[in-house]
Chain A
Amino acid sequence: MEKSTKNNNKKSFLKEGFKSDISKHHKEYLGTTVSEGYFAKSKMSILDKIKEEEIKEMPKTTKKQIVFWMKPQFRFMAAASVVFIFALTIWLQKADNNTINENNIEFLAFSDDVLINSLLVEDAEMDLFADATIINEILIKAELSEQKMDDLFLNSLFVEDSLIDNYTDDGFLETIIL
């Protein structure tokens, strides 16, 4: 505290302020010191500590490198692909099942015993079965019946006159009743 004891003028106590040597400045005004060579030792200690910290963090870095390609954007893409493939598989399976069901129902609807077959159809598929039956009974069978009538008239042209009455009677009966 050389400065303060020399200078008894209180107005100039803080006038000089900071000098180039910061440690000296603190010692002069506040009486705080450090041991000799402290800063050199401290520097080495800080550098060592930083090396230690870097070594500690090394495994984390390595771990990160291993999964580098598994960055969030890649992970999301991979997950989305898996979900898409899974969904596609399920959808294809379902589509196949629907086709089989439709074939089955058509098979049941086109057979002769429609009422008995209706017992084999599940409730959920009843509408589909009914549609198939209507198409079968009304459209297809009517069409076939019409074709038969046409055939009947055409064939009647080739039948002898004496036999024509019997032929048409049988033909009409068969076509209209069935």
Chain B
Amino acid sequence: MNKDVELVKKLKDVTQKDAAFSELLDVYQERLYWHIRKIVTTHENADDVLQNTFIRIYKSIQNFQEKSTLHTWMYRIAYNESIRFLEKNNKKSYDNIDAISESHLEVLFDDAYFDGDEIHKKLNSIIDGFKIKQKRIFQMKYFDDLSFRQISEILEVPESTLKSSYYSSVKTIEEKIFL
């Protein structure tokens, strides 16, 4: 975390900003990509949103008040950018939530950057069957390795709710995966 504090100082210093931003990309680009990818489904979409996310981070770093960690702040931006992207696109393509869910899996499995077998498809289907918030909580905890506290700040949901949602998801997956 101290590294992040140092990084923020450099990012706010005009003379060091570009070098610091390159360092920031090295540390967080991959993690944010996967966070975004799980929300927007395809690699192509994730690539667009990732770019927008970092542009937004670059532009708004001066306004970052350090009330949360840099890590959490960036995840929140990535999350919001992804949701914005989905809202923008879903308005054009889908009429209801069920259709979105079905299409989501189809789009995922048809993506050139999906290389999964039956068990992967099954896990994706189980996760996709969760309610949207439960799905995000599980993904952030299990795949992005965020703490409950960080997820709570990003999604603005109490930690106790997150924990029960997460453990319920884990139980469901373990029960269904080899059925």
Query: Chain A interface (Cβ within 8 Å of chain B)?
Result: 1, 4-5, 8, 10-11, 13-14, 17-18, 22-23, 25-27, 29-35, 39, 42-43, 45-47, 49-50, 53
- Chain A residues with Cβ below 8 Å from B59 are 53
Taking the closest CB of chain B, its distance from the CB of A33, in whole angstroms, is 5
Set A14, A18, A39, A43: member contacting B145, Cβ < 8 A: A18
Contact B55 A18 (CB under 8 A): no
The answer to whether A31 and B55 touch across the interface, beta carbons within 8 angstroms, is no
The residue that B34 contacts in the complex, of A23, A31, A45, with Cβ under 8 A, is A23
State how many angstroms separate the Cβ of A162 from the closest Cβ of chain B.
114
Residue with the greatest number of chain B CB neighbours at <10 A, chosen from A5, A14, A18, A39 = A14
- Chain B neighbourhood of A13, CB < 8 A: 173-174, 177-178
Residue in contact with B29 in the complex, picked from A1, A18, A30, A39, CB distance below 8 Å = A39
Complex Cα distance, B97 from A139, in Å, reads 100
Known A10-B178, A17-B142, A22-B31: A30·B124 in contact at CB below 8 Å: yes
B47:A33 contact, CB within 8 angstroms: no
Is there contact, CB below 8 Å, between A29 and B50? no
Complex-state Cα separation, A47 to B178, whole angstroms? 44
Q: Is the CB of B145 within 8 A of A46?
A: no
What is the CB-to-nearest-CB distance from B112 to chain A, in angstroms, rounded to a whole number? Answer: 9
Inter-subunit contact B120/A39 (CB<8 Å): no
Q: Which residues of A contact B1 (CB under 8 A)?
A: none
Residues in A with CB closer than 8 Å to B34 are 22-23, 26
Total B residues in contact with A, Cβ cutoff 8 Å: 41
List residues of chain A with CB within 8 A of the CB of B144.
Answer: 18, 22
- Return the contact of A29 from the options B21, B120, B174, B175 (Cβ within 8 A): B120
**What 0/1 pattern do residues 27 to 41 of B give for CB contact below 8 A with A?**
001110110011000
- B25 contacts partner chain A, Cβ-Cβ < 8 Å: yes
Contact yes or no, A39 B116, CB < 8 A:
no
Cβ contacts A to B, 7 pairs, < 8 Å: A10-B177, A30-B123, A32-B43, A32-B114, A47-B25, A49-B51, A50-B21
Bound CA span A50–B57, Å: 10
B78 CB, nearest partner CB in chain A, Å: 13
The yes or no answer to B58 lying at the interface (CB within 8 A) is yes
Kindly list chain B residues whose C-beta atoms are within 8 Å of the C-beta of A33.
113-115
Provided the pairs A13-B174, A18-B142, A30-B123 are in contact, do residues A45 and B114 lie with their beta carbons within 8 angstroms?
no
CB-CB < 8 A to A17: which residues of B?
142, 145
Q: How far is the CA of A136 from the CA of B124 in the complex (A)?
A: 109
CA distance A95 to B145 in the complex (A): 81
A31/B145 in contact, CB under 8 A: no
Please give, as numbers and ranges, the residues of chain B lying within 8 Å of A53 by CB-CB distance: 55, 58-59
Complex Cα–Cα for A11 and B175 (A)? 8
- Once bound together, how far apart are the Cα atoms of A31 and B117, in whole Å? 7
Chain A residues in 8 Å Cβ range of B143: 18, 22, 25-26, 29-30
Cα–Cα, bound, A43→B31 (Å): 13
Q: Enumerate chain B residues within 8 angstroms of A11, measured Cβ to Cβ.
A: 174
